[in-house]
Amino acid sequence: MENEIVSGHGEAMWRKCAAFHGHVCPGLALGYAATRLAMATLREDNRADDEELVAVVENDACFVDAVQVLTGCTFGKGNFFHKDYGKIALTLFSRRSGRGVRVSLKGDILAQSSEHAQLLKKVMSGQADAAERARFQELHAQRTREILEADPEHLFQATFVEGPVPERARMEPSAPCPRCGEPTMPSKMVSGPSGLICRGCAESVPSRQDEPSA
């Protein structure tokens, strides 16, 4: 893969982020900028083919899709973790170097205009008319361009983090849950009245056997 993530010629990667996410927006642009800064700080040029990189994100919004595309870290590989902190932040670890960096948005660096904020509320509530939706999209696109054209170091602060790199994805044979019978990783089971059961059964989700027949 070309070194287009850290070289500044990332138009192709940005298009891939937009295609994966489904649309262009400020949140995706923030994830793109944050990830570029994190990878540049760690001097990592390439996406992870396996688990060479590990990403820990602190929100569950548009931001994280750019992180997945640029780093190659995904839930399926076991090298993508979510902390529900509601922060525009990313911690990226390199298994090659053993180093990690946390990149977080600087305070009030991207204050939203009152017009943009008001239109966002109307659009999200379904109360915006056609003209208001068009104006919102115009402001949204403008904000996205501002983020993409800014120096990531102006938007984010990057701090090296101490501590071990998260462990590799666990691979183990599944075993049937004693209650529902569904194959489950034993390490993910929890204690039940009669031994280990899956979390679904522990949370009183009806098992397949308990579901009423059609």
pLDDT tens for each residue of 31-63: 999 999 999 999 998 899 999 999 999 999 999
Which pLDDT score is estimated for 85? 97
Which residue intervals of the chain are DSSP H helices?
Answer: 11-21, 26-42, 63-71, 114-125, 130-149, 152-155, 199-202
User: Residue 28's pLDDT is what?
Assistant: 96
Q: Are β-strands 183-184 and 175-176 bridged in parallel, bridged antiparallel, or unpaired? A: antiparallel
Q: What is the pLDDT of residues 178-211, one digit of tens each?
A: 999 999 999 999 988 878 999 999 987 554 444 5
Domains of the chain: 11-161 (3.30.1330.130), 175-210 (no CATH)
Judged against a pLDDT cut of 90, whether residue 2 lies above it is answered with no
- pLDDT, position 188: 92
Whole-Å CA distances, 119 to 62, 125, 134? 19, 10, 10
Look-up: residue for tokens 């361009």?
145
User: In the prediction, which pLDDT does 10 show?
Assistant: 66
| Whole-structure pTM value | 0.79
Encode pLDDT of 73-87 as tens digits.
999 999 999 999 999
